[in-house]
Amino acid sequence: MVNRSKQPEISGFKKVQLHFPTPVTLQNGIPVWVVGDGDDEVNRVELYMGGGIYQEHKPLLAYLTGLLTFEGNANQSAEQVAEALDYYGAVKSAQPNDQCSMVSLSSLNHNFSSTAKILFDGISTPLYPEQECELYLRRLASNVETARQRVDYLANVEMRRLYYGESHPLAAEATPEALLSITNDDYKQFYKKYYNADNLRIVFSGKITDKEMAVLDSTIGTWNVRGEKVDDTQEPPIQPSDKMLSIIDKKGALQSAVAITIRAIPRRHPDYFKLRLLITAFGGYFGSRLNMNIREDKGYTYGIHGYLSGRSNDSYISVVSTCATQYTWPVIDEVKKEMHRLRTEPMPAEELSTVKQHMLSDLMKTLDTPFSIARYVADSFTVGIYPEYFNEQVDAILQCTPADVMEMANKYLLDTKMRIVIAGDKQILKK
């Protein structure tokens, strides 16, 4: 009989590895990364077309150009496409990235010959019908106008402007006015420049057999429009503002939002994984230093988060929180205190073990399904992850010591480097 008065032993994670797939090619030369060992008869096709936020001349143009390929094509109207996707139970999606745009479609395998044709018709012969596109823009502009009333939205916009610099594409705000200035010609010109077989990479995931590969090859594999390939090694320079504190006035706001950034290091830097562990301990999970102090102990906020946002050639540490306005400056003070503690006090072995287990369990989720692995593979196109990244990260987490954590804190967790943005009622903040 099990002795329930005795706590069972906790066994740590064993070393696991992710086997990064080698791409295969369709008949027209388009590379496809296949993650196909799923158990369920479903699949997802993700098309990564070169041309993203860095290439657009109006905010969200790359995203909209991809998403609106589902709003009618040479063979089907927008209404017919919507009805077909609903009938087949297919789910469309689009997302912009720095140097590419993603368009995807998820569907059941037994419907794939039909849904793949819809996806292919959309990327090869989109119509961008004026009425549907204008309606979508108006809805989006209305959503943005609503979001601009929130202090967390205002703080995030200002944070990006200070961090990247006024002229950087990632600092551009998608205002309602900017969105409503987008025309059908903008979509068509962006499409003409970037949508071609030479500029496309595909991630195909789910339960993938020769049958699904044949369908993909007989549709997208026949697309022979050629063109320029985006050089994703070229990036606009980051030119941070000299301003280290910015207060955005939102009269009458009952809360204020705090957004703090500290510039860090690229993903391939030898310190990156150890820094990621430090930031997880600092603010990256429920038991983190920031959450246990500022939320659980002080009660200043319902939530505070610290994270490391990584890109190919850059990353930054960020702390974000929303709190009652009178607690704004105390929250910032406590953030600085926790940074100081990490720089001056060795992390207890038990806490470090907890952080490691949390990070490893998060990594294990990456291996749960073909779709989660596919997302990791796609990150090699979007945020600079490389094939050995997962396995190197596991090794780095397992090997990290309290001395490593303190070293990272003294190198990178410096309150003198903090850019602080506060959005809230300035009159109350001054008191």
3-state DSSP assignment of residue 25: strand
pLDDT digits (tens, 9 = 90+) for 209-233: 999 999 999 999 999 999 989 988 8
- In this prediction, residues 167-181 reach a mean pLDDT of 96
Same domain, 419 and 295: yes
Q: 305 falls in which pLDDT band (50, 70, 90)?
A: very high
What are the residues facing 101 on neighbouring strands? 49, 96
Confidence tier at 372 by pLDDT (50, 70, 90): very high
Q: What are 250-291's pLDDT values in tens digits?
A: 999 999 999 999 999 999 999 999 999 999 999 999 999 999
Q: What is the pLDDT of residues 133-160, one digit of tens each?
A: 999 999 999 999 999 999 999 999 999 9
Residue 5: its pLDDT value, please? 83
Q: How far apart are CA 178 and CA 155, in angstroms?
A: 19
Q: What is the CATH number of the domain that holds 367?
A: 3.30.830.10
Split into its structural domains, the chain has a count of: 2
Give tens-digit pLDDT for 78-114. Answer: 999 999 999 999 999 999 999 999 999 999 999 999 9
* CA distance to 120, 248, 298, 417, per residue, from 47 (Å): 10, 39, 47, 39
User: Is 293 found in the same domain as 158?
Assistant: no
Q: Is position 118 within any domain?
A: yes
Q: What is the mean pLDDT of residues 416-424?
A: 97
Which 8-state DSSP code applies to residue 229?
P
Task: Answer left, alpha or beta for residue 72, where phi above 0 means left and psi between -120 and 50 means alpha.
Answer: left
* Domain boundary pick from 222, 257, 282: 222
- Measured CA to CA, the distance from residue 213 to residue 205 in angstroms comes to 11
* Host domain of residue 313: 245-430
Q: Are residues 256 and 363 in the same domain?
A: yes
Alpha helices in 31-172 (DSSP H): 61-67, 78-88, 112-124, 130-147, 151-164
Give the integer Cα–Cα distance in Å for 384 and 266.
9
Q: Cα(76)–Cα(88) distance, rounded to whole angstroms?
A: 15
